[in-house]
Amino acid sequence: MKDRMTIAGKTWEWGRKTFIMGILNVTPDSFSDGGRFSNLEAALAQASRMKAEGADIIDIGGESTRPGATDTVTADEELRRIVPVIQRLSKDIEIPISVDTYKAKTARLAIGAGAHMINDVWGLKKDPEMAEVAASLKVPVCIMHNRETPVYANLMKDILLDLEQSLEIAFKAGVKEERIILDPGIGFGKTWEQSLLVMRNLEMLRELGFPVLLGASRKSFIGKTLGLEVQDRLEGTLAVTAIGIIKKVDIVRVHDVLGNVRVARMTDKIVR
């Protein structure tokens, strides 16, 4: 694995600390935020709060990609939601910005507006132009595992094979190894029991040789395990963050930045 990555001119050294990605959904139907940050000023205030609490990067999404979401958002609508936020944040807050999208057009114009990284929940497989966009713009890309249906012969082996297919797409398009991050896709194309199994075997992703992002904040596998609604999943999320760090993930993507920063710093001190 490459030992470092440059994002927005900042060097991230893997293995020395856990990086915190704050989630900023500017959508009216986010599964956890319920549209609280869908207007510009609210979104900017939340981004400032996350930075103050210790976020290393902010991930901005303009379409709900939660499993089961049925309303597909056009690239133009997605851009209408996210571009004003990205433009303001890139000028007002000195923190890298990631764009959460699987659409090549959205990624290209979001990077043009000031974002620095692409986070694709379909692992470069949904839009055939996405890998070329990432390669041509020379920005980091997070490749997440996903499937239409949660049917596997062998869960972990199949996830690794699927991610290897995404990596092949990336390399063929010219994406450099040092710009790739992998995400096991907790909750995506997986039952809640399968998500628990992925958590139990997270370290297997290291076999592919890339930094790993864990996005499990407030997700349904926590709710199913503990019998809790989304607003009550903080403690479960914190436990998952600690376990992820023990299993050597490099980035955690979270809604509640402050609590996760504290857990990450304490866990880092013990295990790193």
253 is catalytic: yes
The residue written with tokens 């959508």 in the block is: 27
Among residues 127, 167, 161, 175, which one has the least CA distance to residue 143? 167
Contacts of 43 (CB under 8 A, 6+ apart): 24, 26, 37, 60, 85
Is 213 in contact with 181 (CB distance < 8 Å)? yes
Residue in 253, 262, 269, 272 annotated catalytic: 253
CA neighbours closer than 13 Å in the CB half-sphere of residue 263: 22
- Spatial separation of the C-alpha atoms in residues 46 and 161, rounded to whole Å: 37
Residue in 190, 219, 233, 247 annotated catalytic: 219
Which DSSP category does 42 fall into? H
Among residues 247, 190, 169, 165, which one has the least CA distance to residue 214? 247
- Spatial separation of the C-alpha atoms in residues 10 and 268, rounded to whole Å: 20
DSSP string, 168-219: HHHHHHT--GGGEEEE--TTSSS-HHHHHHHHHTGGGGGGG-S-BEE--TT-
The total number of residues shown for the chain amounts to 272
The residue written with tokens 């900017």 in the block is: 44
Q: Which two three-digit tokens encode residue 227? A: 């019998």
List, by residue number, the catalytic residues: 219, 253
